[in-house]
Structure 1
């Protein structure tokens, strides 16, 4: 990726992506990160050796890609400040802010920009994230490939053709790490009641989640088949799964994901003012 990349914002997600890009072979000198105060940039500059800048407009002038990595609540002010420079430089814009639709961000940037919306998740911080991406009509195939390469630095990438589907992405991956954390929490509590020390229960539950994910990822069989393969007729696993099915676990998951997607819609309206 011989492109100059500027990150507007230098928080945890930006740092994770930058670290992944450098690990994948991008030269630190091709990367710039900005923050309002130089003191906020000291750590990332020393740790990763990238360029830093407190002037957003100056930082985007030479960029081929600009990643908007600021909180949704301040996105409008940041974009409107950047608009004159963006209109002149015409880089690929990538937003990793939740809830703000592409048309709204494009309008704040002055219009007719090549813009990709990205919904990453927190496991990106440890290099095994999952990101859903949507490109507006201005994005070229070359820019699409650039966005893919950038986000693959911290995990897998899946594109959606309809921007509204990013709400489903939020439900299935963006918010979903918390679903698994809840499962680990519940398993630990139950194991303690069965007599295990809390630390032992936690380590076993988390390692089992890691192992199940790895098996599912590496197998050519679907999760339903993998589940069936663990279940012996009349055995312990069959009894546990039967109890979960009777308790309507599938309905609980479906309802939770529906609620998540609905809240994503609400947030989009609130943040864009539509």
Structure 2
């Protein structure tokens, strides 16, 4: 089992309460957790969720183990993603968890926060960060020449959501005939005026002839759900910002499911200009 089992009790322990909170999650975290508990292997989970690779399974296992047992992941990128997941669980658990369970979840979040704020990374930390950088470059190589819908944001939007109440933040959703080239283009442009590299969140597979139509449908579903960019209200449609939405990763996956798109990439890899 990828998770340490919580003790079975007539009254749920704080750890079991957190496990129940994760089981009830409607997003990828809950999906992976439930399938893991049913004994599915990572490749089987990816197949069931229509995701082309298995790496995301290990990431979501990391988030769950951090929430359940306070296990702190190595590498800054993975810790930031874990913190975001824990923040979402804290928000979801406010009216659900007992006081003891909430205190435990907050303590586990604090452990990850403390590790992320540590000014002196260990040798292992350096190695983990270097591996995550290699993984990011590998992702770009794998997406070379691949058409699809992509979504990215920046660290400050992900760590401090614009809409705290709904857990939504500004995410750019666009299309490209070559996702890798487009991400490199965005990264190069951002380097001149952004204080940190972009974070690629999702890539969904779409054949080139369907790109325009699929992007329009994706945007329409986001707008219809009230996830449009509030900073563009009343602006001309041709103005900058029309591809930015106030949304979240789980809702992006929901739209992709509705459009029957295969997920090529799930994560928060940060891409600096090469």
TM (norm. structure 2) is 0.29
- Higher-RCO chain (CA-CA 8 Å, sequence separation at least 6): 2
Rg larger in 1 or in 2? 1
Higher percent of residues as helix: 1
TM (norm. structure 1) is 0.29
